Structure 1
Amino acid sequence: MSAGSTDKPASEYRLPTNVKPSHYDLTVRTDLDSSVFDGVVKINLDVKMPTSKIVLNSNGLKLDKAYVRSDASKDALVASDYSVDEKDKRVTFTFPTTFNAGSKLELKIGFTGELDDGMVGYYRSSYEKDGQKKYYSLTQFEAVDARRAFPCWDEPALKATFDITLVSKVDTVSISNSAAISEETFSANKESHLALKEAFPSLDGQWKITKFQTTPIMSTYLVAFANGPFEYIESTVKLPISNKTVPLRVYATADLIHQAQFALDVKAKVLPLYEQIFDVPYPLPKLDTLVASAMENWGLITGRTNSFLLDPKKADMAGKKRVIVVQSHEVAHMWFGNITTMEWWDYLYLNEGFATLMGEVITIGKVFPEFKANSEFIDDHLNRALALDAKLSSHPIEVSCPNADSIGQIFDALSYSKAASVLRMLSAYVGEDKFLKGVSIYLKNHMYGNSVTNDLWKGISESTGLDIPKLMDNWINKMGFPVVTVTETSNGIKVRQDRFLETGIAQSKDNETLWCVIPLSILTVDSNGKPTVDRTAILDTREKEFPLDASKPFKINAGTNGVYCVLYTSKRLSKIATEVAKPNSVFSLEDRMGLINDSFSLSKAALMKLSSALTLVDAMQQEEEYLVWNGIAGNLGGVAAVWRDNAEVYDLLNEFRRSLFGPIVKKLGYEYSASDSPDTTQLRTCAIGMCAVAEDMTVVNELKSRFDHYMKTGDDSRIPADLQRTIYRVAVKHGGRDEYNAVKAIFEKPPTPTARIAAMFVFNSRQTQDDELLKETFNVTLRGARDQDVIYFFRGLGINHKSKMMLVDFFKQNYDELCRRFQNTFMLKYFVEDAFGNLSTEKDLQDTIEYFKDKDVTRYEMSLNQTLDGIRARIAYLKHSTSDIETWLKEWKKKNSSAL
């Protein structure tokens, strides 16, 4: 495999520091009819070292002459020469004089660009109105794409303030980071418009000028503006620290705006809470949300339709939770990332890990306690993080990102989910109040500035009195995580830490890391039979002993806050299974979730038998919590995917799944009620979905009849929102051309964003078995899907057993086109993961290695290596556990034959 150039030191990918920007005066004119934009930027610069050269970032723009005015001279100097570095996306202007250190300059550059569909920089997006395609424009600058919209110093540490003026057609709406302070139609007779006429000679009365308030000092990747036929809904909120009333809006196109109220309500609930928790005022005069793209721009959040829109009358529980999570996550960024910004992309987790923990756990736990956010985090983030971090090809949370290609690769489960998991572990160990106090200190010490990891540790050290770097450095700077092995002694237990890999305990050089502090949180039972947790117990050496009464139930990692797996002896696991089965078990919801996830991870690594994990699950048939059943469903689904080619094992697994989830369907039925708790609603959906996947024909026939009714009558009242995806899937899998076309029609003209996503996941052949329909879907993937939707097609086609090898061939045949089409986005790494991530034979592995050996994998090298590790792990899993799972399932069936 061929990688890009890595022979330059990291510093050479950074801009020179001879001059630094302090303020931008940016004017951009947008012509949606012609799909072009042009503009002028004036940048105030502080000269730090004598220079005649000014180097800044620009990518894909046509630049006019550059002029400089110095505080030492009133005359403007035009650049005598300029050069373009296409590889590093820079332009160098050379001037006929040397500017002295300490002087101040104003650099002026005109520029022109195209509004394309590339989803980065300043680009266009489309929607349909009265059967015609209409366009609007918006920005997506993270991580290094502000330079596509205007020449700038496009690095997070080179902050400045911004005055933004947008010139647009009078029948459109313009929005930006700050509030608009004036908006007027252009007039050639108005003195204040003369400079605009000079910059844009074609201006006339069809254009208007919108000026926005000066922003706080901020990084270029957070600058945002948009133009189009937007409508909005609004409310206001009183903030507790600043005592100001802030207007809140959600913008969308006219066809969607009626579904934006819920997102607006969520924003109104979480914004005041963040200000109160951090004791840091929200600094901007407003907070808008635009339904498009996906970015935490300061004052102007953007997000996709399925992230911010729902019809309250037709919304499923998953859709509601997604809106809550995404809106809350993005509002958290107004502090983490926007007020205080990472110094460089090596520290991305300071933005994303915190926004994940704050936005998806702590805040939601306070505002929407019914969703049990702290518990759900275990499946949504902790398990996801450990799955990726269990590979040799993992990377540390804090990871070197010298160039743009490396930056794009770290927007992954480690920067988001593992970072949030480690921070959650720290919060549980020191106490949430002290943790949040330390975070507040950190934010206050770095207001409007940039930070690195140690800045955060200083804040939390101050609030706790603990040596936080000693506690945390290895969790942040070392890849991987430990497995804590528990053996019982005459006086208690002995625990040992080793690096865990999905193929077993790491050996020799890969097992050198000692996590200096592993919070063990040992749960034991007191004399009254009540659980008690020792949160002071830590493992800070390779091995350590702890006294306890092993004749009673105990568990390591109580609450499942620790970022590690726990390996018990098979005898102890049997005792745990007995305790778990009790209706009043001492093990909490989070404990039970952690036990399930650990048992399957450890069995995959051959550190315990897969049959032991299945025995644990079989003991939990009286479980009532949705989140436990969701974990069971996910883990059994993963096992079924590995053994999909083994018909006997797969059929037995389906019988086992039907035995677990069938009784829940019988108990809860198919009808949803507004009086149902979130747990009941989600458990019903989960159980019906699992029975459908496992070919429970009673369930399948019920769901088919509901879709048949819809096809005959057009009435979808028998398709509850929470069952849309499952019913569509059953219809396509067990139907033919008519059902396929019906779901495709929903995808093309959906009643709601959630219906579109549900239809797309199914129409894209997640279940389609017909070869002709599969070919049609592959054609739609390449020719009919929007760029942002192609990933859904890859994901569905990769999961479908029938089409997964076809997807590999499709990727290879269209590789060059995919590279060209998505060259400016992060998407290639996801295509690699989805196309090759479900393979499981030695031939598949060697074919994949051979295919990529002559490719330039620079932009997705991490993902490719992780995918290859995943194939290796599945090969090993099949080898060491096929006999075990087959034997256990046969014995289980024999034992339960009378009940089946």
Structure 2
Amino acid sequence: MSTNRSSKTISQNKYRLPTNVKPSHYDLTLWTDLESLEFGGFVTVDLDILEEVSAIVLNCSDDLKLGDASVRCSAHEHAALPAGSKAQVKIFYTAMLRDSMTGYYKSAWQRDGKTEHYALTQFQPTDARAAVPCWDEPQLKATWTITMISKAETVNLSNMPAESEALYDPSSAFDTNLATLLANLPKKNAQWKITKFQKTPPMSSYIVAWANGPFAHLETTVVMPLSGRTIPLRFYATPDIIEQGQFSLEVTTKVLPLYEKIFDIEYPLPKLDTLAVNDCLGAMENWGLIIGRTIHLLTDPKKVDIASRRAIAGMQTHEVAHMWFGNITTMEWWDNLYLNEGFATLMGSAIVLGEVFPEWEVNASFVTECPDPNSISQIFDGLAYSKAASVLRMLSEYIGEEQFLKGVSLYLKAHLYGNSVTRDLWDGISASSGQNVARLMNNWITKIGFPLITVTETSDGIHVRQDRYLDDGAPNEKENETIWTVPLAILTVTENGEVHIDKTALLEERENTFAVDMSRDFKLNTGTTGLYRVLYTPERLSKIAIEAAKGDSVFSLSDRIGLLCDVSELSHAGLTPVNSLLNLVDIWRNETNHLVWVSILNSLRDIIRPFEDHSQINTSLCAFIRSLFAPLVQRLGYDFPGGESIAMVQLRKTAVSGAVEGRDDSVTRELLSRFQHYMKTGDSAGMPPDIKMPIFTTAARVQSTLLTEMLPYRPLEALKIWDVTTFFWGLEANSLARPLLFPFFQDNYDAFSKRFATSFMLKSLVSACVRSLSTQEAHDDAQAFFADKDTTRYSMALARALETIRARIAYIERSENDLCDWLTRWEQQ
């Protein structure tokens, strides 16, 4: 028997396990000591021997200190294990709880001013091996029976409900292995308890989970629509914050039965728990035990923070989707991760979230949140979430949501408790829709990027051409080889003013002509459900903008947001002048929808940032922004009376944020006054949750001299890994702090690299510190700095950051004169 103590980069075959054996069941017994921060135990694995073997290879991290190991086989007479036989591997081990938010790790909290710990798991993608020797690949599904031994006053959680739980009695009879383990527990005088959990269904190792700590819980039940079963739902957290989990629990109550109905497959487990923790890489869809960071799952029930609630609902809806899509049916390998994450993002950000919370206009906001796509440890990126979600949304809109979801159900039923590849999903949706979905979708998910659709007008209609979209200009011949099958969704208006949408129009070649009446309004990508940019002539763009500004416009909210996003991105790519965006915004200055204003603010921030060192442009641009947002603040004020609509709350929040971006003196004074009052008295009544961020932003600007005091490395050593990256992303958003980031990162690179050695977070730190640069000299210095570094863990993040710098430099060079001219004309008016 040998262990494969592999590195994280396991995309190469040499890092894959042999296929000569397959685990069928794990019996894991594990003790945890939250005082010594140690754990250990033994695992017994039942194996099917598929080919004759003389050695058994499995995954095991260097963190585990292995003890006795043994192999038993049903065919005793053979030296090797013969094909078709059954074997059983047993391994004892101990380890320290990690401090890395991966594997089985510790997290700290404060009780009565004293630091205490709890422990939890994070195994995706390849860290189950850091907590138990196992076959740590997604296609090697097996059942699990988990027994946890812990201090009596703590709570044990795992994927399944507890089958039994009892205090450890040394006089009781136990099997030999368990008796030996119990007899050697640390601090024998402590009271221990034994919790045995029910056997799981077949599952991949990365969604196995357990946790131990002083957890409290909230509880409710839900009756499932297909089975009629009553499923207990619990929300766990430390006692000091447990009441803030009520909203998450309510969301779970709403979406779990809805998913069972949509998928037409019974929820397979007897319960669903959610655990909120201080240290976590976002959230994780462990089967039956969702684990997420407190900031993503908790909200004060006494304060209605719409943004927080929307984020929590989206996160929880995303994770519950995985209970079917990902957990019952799982990708064969990590190169199909987007299949999991894209679908869950679509459901959690649009389809299911919109059904549960229709007042949030999530279909329109999806346009602003998932518009772009941008080694295994780096696979959790824009491709996995934004691009895949956008591609699936485009497919759903093209064939119809009902047929799309029916196809997903067929796919899941065909691969229950098994593994799949992308083609399997396309086959399911093809069966429900009668479309050749693989042909439609292949290039969208196998080729890099997405298309730019250029529209020119002819006597016969519109001439449409597709090229690969690049945010730094036109692609070269090699970069422009892909031809996508593009659903154009052409909106036209008939003679009597009725709107017609042609969803059958496909661009399946480089270019083609479509019959459209040029004398009437038209638009491509209706509802902005397609993953592509549309470039119109300046004259047509102006006509669409003017029509969209009307109260009874034929163009929807999603159309307006999509048009704004397109023009903003196209101006950055140099495909349309920046004045096209400013003209559009100026035409829409009487807009009333908060989501459009959010898009306007984001697009203007994208102009301000590259030119923040150009004083003349910056001053004029701030004046333009003030002219847009300050009147909104004057009309809406700063306070949030109860009973207001979500739209009004969000509009006020955006108005205040926009006025702060424009450096409005009146708004600055008001927000600073509220902050100073809070600092003097501790009274937060003047700091509504929805405008805390602009208040803090304003305060930070006037305290900019403190920046240099914040950056010595030593204070960062006390911060948790996640909080270090959060800290740096906060500084990256501050124009005064940005110039300090990369020099500081360079000076402390060795310390960061060592501390983040077992974490995904180094790539986030690299992104935050490098992408803030905006000159060619700084770009070249950064490139030179990393030339002799091992960038394996963050190569993709570094490449994207450098590309961002190059695009910013090009944008400044080609837009400076255009921007100066437009702002000068605007000021003269």
TM-score between the two structures when normalised by the length of structure 2: 0.97
Residues 8 and 126 in structure 2, CA contact (< 8 A), matched pair in contact too: no
SS at match of 1:854: coil
> Which letter maps to 2:566?
D
Offset, 1:638: 1.1
**Structure 2 residue 682 is matched with structure 1 residue 714:** yes
Instruction: Give 2:726's aligned residue.
Output: 792
Offset, 1:797: 1.6
Moved more, 341-350 or 531-540: 531-540
> Which letter maps to 1:661?
F
Q: Partners in 2 of 1:31 and 1:109 — Cα distance?
A: 20
**Structure 2 residue 486 is matched with structure 1 residue 508:** no
Instruction: Give 1:19's aligned residue.
Output: 21
Residues 224 and 297 in structure 1, CA contact (< 8 A), matched pair in contact too: yes
Q: Partners in 1 of 2:10 and 2:743 — Cα distance?
A: 36
- Say how many residue pairs are matched: 816
Instruction: Give 2:3's aligned residue.
Output: none
> Which letter maps to 1:821?
R
Which residues in structure 2 correspond to 1:127-138 (within 5 Å)?
A: 127-138=109-120
**Structure 2 residue 441 is matched with structure 1 residue 472:** yes
Offset, 1:673: 2.0
SS at match of 1:840: coil
Offset, 1:486: 0.3
Offset, 1:7: 12
**Structure 2 residue 131 is matched with structure 1 residue 149:** yes
**Structure 2 residue 617 is matched with structure 1 residue 649:** yes
| Structure 1 residues 527 and 717: alpha-carbon distance in aligned structure 2, compared to 1, 3 A threshold | same
Residues 781 and 793 in structure 1, CA contact (< 8 A), matched pair in contact too: no
**Structure 2 residue 543 is matched with structure 1 residue 609:** no
Residues 711 and 744 in structure 2, CA contact (< 8 A), matched pair in contact too: no
Residues 10 and 16 in structure 2, CA contact (< 8 A), matched pair in contact too: no
> Which letter maps to 2:125?
A
Q: Partners in 2 of 1:287 and 1:73 — Cα distance?
A: 43
Offset, 1:826: 1.3
Match of 2:70 among 67, 76, 101: 67
| Structure 1 residues 23 and 6: alpha-carbon distance in aligned structure 2, compared to 1, 3 A threshold | closer
Q: Encode CA deviations 1:209-262: one digit per residue, 9 max, x unaligned.
A: 000000000000101000011010100000011211100000100111011111
Which residues in structure 2 correspond to 1:95-134 (within 5 Å)?
A: 97-134=79-116
Offset, 1:530: 2.9
| Structure 1 residues 781 and 361: alpha-carbon distance in aligned structure 2, compared to 1, 3 A threshold | farther
Moved more, 699-708 or 9-18: 9-18
Which residues in structure 2 correspond to 1:449-528 (within 5 Å)?
A: 449-515=418-484, 517-528=485-496
Offset, 1:836: 1.1
**Structure 2 residue 533 is matched with structure 1 residue 565:** yes
Q: Encode CA deviations 1:442-481: one digit per residue, 9 max, x unaligned.
A: 0000000000011001000000111111100000000011
Offset, 1:165: 0.1
**Structure 2 residue 739 is matched with structure 1 residue 805:** yes
SS at match of 1:582: coil
Offset, 1:690: 1.3
Percent same amino acid among aligned pairs? Answer: 51
Q: Partners in 1 of 2:291 and 2:211 — Cα distance?
A: 10
Q: Partners in 2 of 1:825 and 1:704 — Cα distance?
A: 38
Match of 1:353 among 342, 350, 353: 342
Residues 341 and 450 in structure 1, CA contact (< 8 A), matched pair in contact too: yes
Offset, 1:777: 4.4
Instruction: Give 2:332's aligned residue.
Output: 343
Offset, 1:805: 2.2
SS at match of 2:492: strand
Offset, 1:51: 1.0
Instruction: Give 2:202's aligned residue.
Output: 217
Q: Partners in 1 of 2:780 and 2:184 — Cα distance?
A: 60
SS at match of 2:469: strand
Residues 145 and 200 in structure 2, CA contact (< 8 A), matched pair in contact too: yes
**Structure 2 residue 259 is matched with structure 1 residue 274:** yes
Residues 781 and 790 in structure 1, CA contact (< 8 A), matched pair in contact too: no
SS at match of 1:711: helix
Which residues in structure 2 correspond to 1:221-620 (within 5 Å)?
A: 221-292=206-277, 293=280, 294-382=283-371, 384-385=372-373, 388=374, 406-515=375-484, 517-620=485-588
Q: Partners in 2 of 1:69 and 1:408 — Cα distance?
A: 35
Instruction: Give 2:51's aligned residue.
Output: 49
| Structure 1 residues 210 and 854: alpha-carbon distance in aligned structure 2, compared to 1, 3 A threshold | same
| Structure 1 residues 361 and 781: alpha-carbon distance in aligned structure 2, compared to 1, 3 A threshold | farther
Residues 187 and 193 in structure 1, CA contact (< 8 A), matched pair in contact too: no
Instruction: Give 1:185's aligned residue.
Output: 167
Offset, 1:583: 2.0
Match of 1:886 among 790, 814, 820: 820
SS at match of 1:97: coil
Q: Partners in 2 of 1:5 and 1:104 — Cα distance?
A: 29
SS at match of 1:845: helix
Which residues in structure 2 correspond to 1:826-845 (within 5 Å)?
A: 826-845=760-779
Offset, 1:127: 0.3
Match of 1:876 among 793, 810, 826: 810
Residues 22 and 160 in structure 1, CA contact (< 8 A), matched pair in contact too: yes
Instruction: Give 2:793's aligned residue.
Output: 859
Match of 2:627 among 659, 666, 672: 659
SS at match of 1:327: helix
Residues 178 and 286 in structure 1, CA contact (< 8 A), matched pair in contact too: yes
SS at match of 1:676: coil
> What are structure 2's unaligned runs of at least 5 residues?
1-5
SS at match of 2:758: coil
Offset, 1:193: 6.2
> Which letter maps to 2:360?
F
Offset, 1:859: 1.1
Q: Partners in 1 of 2:580 and 2:212 — Cα distance?
A: 58
SS at match of 2:809: helix
Residues 484 and 496 in structure 1, CA contact (< 8 A), matched pair in contact too: yes
Offset, 1:780: 6.7
SS at match of 1:99: coil
Instruction: Give 1:761's aligned residue.
Output: none
SS at match of 1:192: coil
**Structure 2 residue 158 is matched with structure 1 residue 158:** no
Residues 188 and 194 in structure 1, CA contact (< 8 A), matched pair in contact too: no
SS at match of 1:890: helix
Q: Partners in 2 of 1:621 and 1:284 — Cα distance?
A: 52
Offset, 1:485: 0.4
Q: Partners in 2 of 1:173 and 1:135 — Cα distance?
A: 12
> Which letter maps to 1:34?
S
| Structure 1 residues 61 and 7: alpha-carbon distance in aligned structure 2, compared to 1, 3 A threshold | closer
Instruction: Give 1:749's aligned residue.
Output: none
Moved more, 674-683 or 157-166: 674-683
Offset, 1:371: 0.7
Q: Partners in 2 of 1:601 and 1:202 — Cα distance?
A: 63
Offset, 1:194: 5.5
Q: Partners in 2 of 1:869 and 1:144 — Cα distance?
A: 29
Q: Partners in 1 of 2:111 and 2:777 — Cα distance?
A: 50
Which residues in structure 2 correspond to 1:597-746 (within 5 Å)?
A: 597-734=565-702, 736=703
Residues 186 and 193 in structure 1, CA contact (< 8 A), matched pair in contact too: no
Offset, 1:505: 2.2
SS at match of 2:792: coil
| Structure 1 residues 822 and 497: alpha-carbon distance in aligned structure 2, compared to 1, 3 A threshold | same
